[in-house]
Structure 1
Amino acid sequence: MRLPIIALAVSAFAIGTTEFVVMGLLPQMADDLGVSIPAAGMLVTGYALGVVFGGPLLAMATARLPRKTVLMVLMGLFIAGNLLCALAPDYDTLMFARVIAALAHGSFFGAGAVVAGHVAGPGRAAQAIALMFTGLTVATIMGVPLGTLLGQTLGWRATFWAVVLLGVAALLIIARQVPDLREMQAPRLGQELRVLRQPQVLLALGMTVFGFGGVFAVFTYIVPILTEQAHLGEQAISWVLALFGLGATCGTLLGGRLADWRLMPALIIALAVLSLFFVVFAAMMQHPAAAVIGVFLIGLLGFASSPGLQTRCVQQASAAPLLASTLNQSAFNLGNAGGAWIGASLLSHGAGYPALSLAAAAVTAAGLGLTLASAYLQRRSRRLQVSPAIACSHG
């Protein structure tokens, strides 16, 4: 069981690195391409929108193919997109290449989660899926800081060449270690699509979009915040980004434990604390020590809600595991895209970086509102189920 899951985790590491590393290279890419910081930040939005639309479409298009074939095709698409990123002569080509690389993201994790659960067997599926997703958190600790350092030293294109090599390694490991799994039953798309009619499923996706979207309104522009607001030197950036990765890992582990404790109260607490933190960060980002601690806390508090949001979506769409996993990845990235776009819009209209943090607080508060609405509907549904049972017992 372990080698196939490790193959998926290596793939997740490569995907996570290319998704997040642009934030660490934003000033260099803007200078080289001759665009503004807000325009360079839209490369994050472009990637995220590629995940949003590409994930569900590719999941449906490849639903009847063997899962190993799907994983290899998607990783090949990911390699091609990043190769084009490394070779892109201008901003428009780079944006197109980012979208191509992103198309594989959501559907890869959707298919990978199904494969991981099947390979692990009954009673170990959740552990296997969690192990696969550790590739993403390791990417924030190692891939992004190292990719940032490589880009600062050899130019940002070198980082994408490194991601291409990671993708090739992941493809070879998948080809060698992931079994064919031809016995897996193909998902019934009609049944999975019908799940989207359920209000709680739509609320769960909305909770993910807004609950995580605020993080990227700030984190997309974290390098100029650190250099222009906190006046940190460029040589310190990769180390500070490693702190974000450490915070994200701790937050993911903490969030998983809290979600296992009591899912909805844990999400409400996590989102309320995150929204409040962004208000404080807006006032404190000019101080170097506070900014560095704030980067760690963005990772810790931002990712503390991630396991709960993933669990809530899959829980509410239990009849559609493939589509639920894929759509929730799309929801995370729609939040990423929206957050990065909000930040770019504010900066383009002359707002300062503290305004981004206040906007992040508002976006997170919207996610909190959707979570409270979902919890209320859940309690009301349980009361309505209990009331007839009481009436029958008295009758």
Structure 2
Amino acid sequence: MSSPDLDAASTLTPFLSGQRLALVLISLAMGGFAIGVTEFAAMSVLPDFAKGLGVDEPTAGHVISAYAAGVVVGAPILAVMGARLPRWLLLIGFMGLFAIGNGLSAIAPDYQWMLVFRFLSGIPHGAYFGVAALMIASIVPLQFRARAVSTTLLGLTFATVFGVPAVNLVSQHFGWRWTFAIVSVVAVLTMVLIALYAPRDKGDPEAVPMRELGALKSGQVWLTLGVGAIGFGGMFCVYAYVASTAQAVTGVGPSILPVIFAIFGVGMMIGNVLGGWAADRFGMKAAAGLLLWSAFALCLYPLAAQNLSTLLPVVVMIGIGGGLGSVLQTRLMDVAGDAQTLAAALNHSAFNLANALGPLLGGMAIAAGWGFASTGYVGAGLALGGLAIWVVAYLTGRKTVVKNP
């Protein structure tokens, strides 16, 4: 049984190949790059904007949580409101809002306004990735779906390899505000590329809000979202404070931080490629392997943080756990029925609940005096919590889910 929404999309947008497909993928990945830079670079420059806004680092972590809260709130609202509109127009609109939010973040006068502007910046994040994933899934054969969807996230992983280290250097030399200004410019570039190359679908006039909200009736949708919301929190728990850990525990200077973030990005890139392949081959089972891998790597982190030579390979290992995104995105396409747009967007709401939960719990551990490296153990607990939800989803899903052919 195939998903009606994906079937309809395929009839409106024929499969693409060659140069045209590549241009579409690059255009959508550029948006992922912009989002990845603003999401992860905000963590990488956390010590800088904490000082600039006159707050301590655990308090500055709330700025990251505010962005994540914007994603959580914005994704379902924008997905439901825009489900009937052409996807290419939605993507341009989402990037426009994203550009405005980041531009305002660059000129935020104080901590309170920064919280507001980061919340605004996060609103289109999940909806963009969700709609982009559906667009890609509609223009490639089904057997390549997860790998194609992972190309959107590839822009995000490129951001962690190249974008985050680059803006970290810019922040060190010219100030942290340039981080968000650069993101705003990249978002505008994405709008232009999508306008030029995205396929002109006609929208779905039958995608009424109540049909989209029907996804919320599915227990499998909620369990899949739960896996991401809890399980992904472990990675964010460590990443949010890795700059502080590297300086306070490992003892490295600011010049080494871009290298650490680039190494993490390499891990995410590897994980993204492997996650897309594993999702096409093993389905939801791939999520269990990635969660176990993450728990193991996160347990190693406090032990490795004392020395740069041991920290770097563990950072790569933690980054590989980011491959979970592609697995859960395609899983939601299988279990959401008609409500594809909402379910795809909610996947990123779940990940940003993790983005809020991880830094929050990590900050609590640090504030309690357990040290920056303790975020590894907290993160491992979150990864295992996600695995526990996966077990429930897998056992119940074997009886209730009929996968797309």
| TM-score normalised over the length of structure 2 | 0.89
1:330 pairs, out of 342, 349, 358, with 349
- Given that residues 85 and 94 in structure 1 are in contact (C-alpha distance below 8 angstroms), is that contact kept between their aligned partners in structure 2? yes
Runs of 5+ in structure 1 lacking a partner?
Answer: 386-395
Return closer, same or farther for 1:225/1:138 CA change in 2, 3 Å cut-off: same
Q: Which amino acid aligns with 1:308?
A: V
Q: CA deviation at 1:74?
A: 1.3
In 1, Cα distance between the equivalents of 2:83 and 2:400? 33
- Given that residues 71 and 112 in structure 1 are in contact (C-alpha distance below 8 angstroms), is that contact kept between their aligned partners in structure 2? yes
1:263 pairs, out of 261, 283, 298, with 283
1:143 pairs, out of 140, 163, 174, with 163
Is the counterpart of residue 31 in structure 1 residue 51 in structure 2?
yes
Q: Which residue of 1 aligns with 2:371?
A: 352
Is the counterpart of residue 274 in structure 1 residue 297 in structure 2?
no
Q: Over the residues paired in the alignment, what is the CA RMSD in angstroms?
A: 2.1
Q: Which amino acid aligns with 2:258?
A: S
Larger radius of gyration: 1
Q: Which residue of 2 aligns with 1:293?
A: 313
In 2, Cα distance between the equivalents of 1:82 and 1:380? 45
User: Which range moved further: 58-67 or 338-347?
Assistant: 58-67
User: Which range moved further: 324-333 or 251-260?
Assistant: 251-260
Is the counterpart of residue 79 in structure 1 residue 99 in structure 2?
yes
In 1, Cα distance between the equivalents of 2:97 and 2:395? 42
Return closer, same or farther for 1:38/1:175 CA change in 2, 3 Å cut-off: same
In 2, Cα distance between the equivalents of 1:20 and 1:176? 28
Listed one character per residue, the Cα deviations across residues 91-142 of structure 1 (whole Å, up to 9, x for unaligned) are 1111111111111111111222223334457766555433332211111111
Return closer, same or farther for 1:5/1:187 CA change in 2, 3 Å cut-off: farther
Q: CA deviation at 1:380?
A: 5.5
Q: Which amino acid aligns with 1:310?
A: Q
Is the counterpart of residue 61 in structure 1 residue 87 in structure 2?
no
- Given that residues 196 and 202 in structure 1 are in contact (C-alpha distance below 8 angstroms), is that contact kept between their aligned partners in structure 2? yes
How is 1:94-133 mapped onto 2 (pairs within 5 angstroms)? Answer: 94-120=114-140, 126-133=146-153
- Given that residues 204 and 316 in structure 1 are in contact (C-alpha distance below 8 angstroms), is that contact kept between their aligned partners in structure 2? no
In 2, Cα distance between the equivalents of 1:88 and 1:217? 25
- Given that residues 147 and 276 in structure 2 are in contact (C-alpha distance below 8 angstroms), is that contact kept between their aligned partners in structure 1? no
Listed one character per residue, the Cα deviations across residues 160-189 of structure 1 (whole Å, up to 9, x for unaligned) are 221121111111222222243225555233
Q: Which amino acid aligns with 1:363?
A: L
In 2, Cα distance between the equivalents of 1:312 and 1:269? 15
Q: Which amino acid aligns with 1:335?
A: A
1:187 partner SS: coil
Is the counterpart of residue 193 in structure 1 residue 193 in structure 2?
no
2:202 partner SS: coil
In 2, Cα distance between the equivalents of 1:295 and 1:186? 46
1:351 partner SS: coil
Is the counterpart of residue 46 in structure 1 residue 80 in structure 2?
no
In 1, Cα distance between the equivalents of 2:147 and 2:204? 20
Is the counterpart of residue 17 in structure 1 residue 37 in structure 2?
yes
In 1, Cα distance between the equivalents of 2:198 and 2:283? 33
In 2, Cα distance between the equivalents of 1:368 and 1:183? 37
In 2, Cα distance between the equivalents of 1:368 and 1:12? 27
- Given that residues 42 and 344 in structure 1 are in contact (C-alpha distance below 8 angstroms), is that contact kept between their aligned partners in structure 2? no
1:171 pairs, out of 169, 191, 196, with 191
Q: CA deviation at 1:53?
A: 0.6
2:329 pairs, out of 310, 314, 329, with 310
In 2, Cα distance between the equivalents of 1:130 and 1:280? 27
Q: CA deviation at 1:350?
A: 2.6
- Given that residues 84 and 204 in structure 2 are in contact (C-alpha distance below 8 angstroms), is that contact kept between their aligned partners in structure 1? no
Is the counterpart of residue 156 in structure 1 residue 181 in structure 2?
no
Listed one character per residue, the Cα deviations across residues 20-55 of structure 1 (whole Å, up to 9, x for unaligned) are 101111111111111101111121111111000111
2:244 pairs, out of 215, 224, 233, with 224
User: Which range moved further: 178-187 or 198-207?
Assistant: 178-187
Return closer, same or farther for 1:318/1:145 CA change in 2, 3 Å cut-off: farther
Q: Which residue of 1 aligns with 2:227?
A: 207
Q: Which amino acid aligns with 1:261?
A: R
Q: Which residue of 2 aligns with 1:390?
A: none
In 2, Cα distance between the equivalents of 1:63 and 1:257? 29
User: Which range moved further: 278-287 or 40-49?
Assistant: 278-287
In 2, Cα distance between the equivalents of 1:159 and 1:194? 39
Return closer, same or farther for 1:60/1:184 CA change in 2, 3 Å cut-off: closer
In 1, Cα distance between the equivalents of 2:330 and 2:137? 14
In 2, Cα distance between the equivalents of 1:320 and 1:269? 28
Listed one character per residue, the Cα deviations across residues 145-166 of structure 1 (whole Å, up to 9, x for unaligned) are 1111111111111122211211
Runs of 5+ in structure 2 lacking a partner?
Answer: 1-19
In 2, Cα distance between the equivalents of 1:352 and 1:224? 10
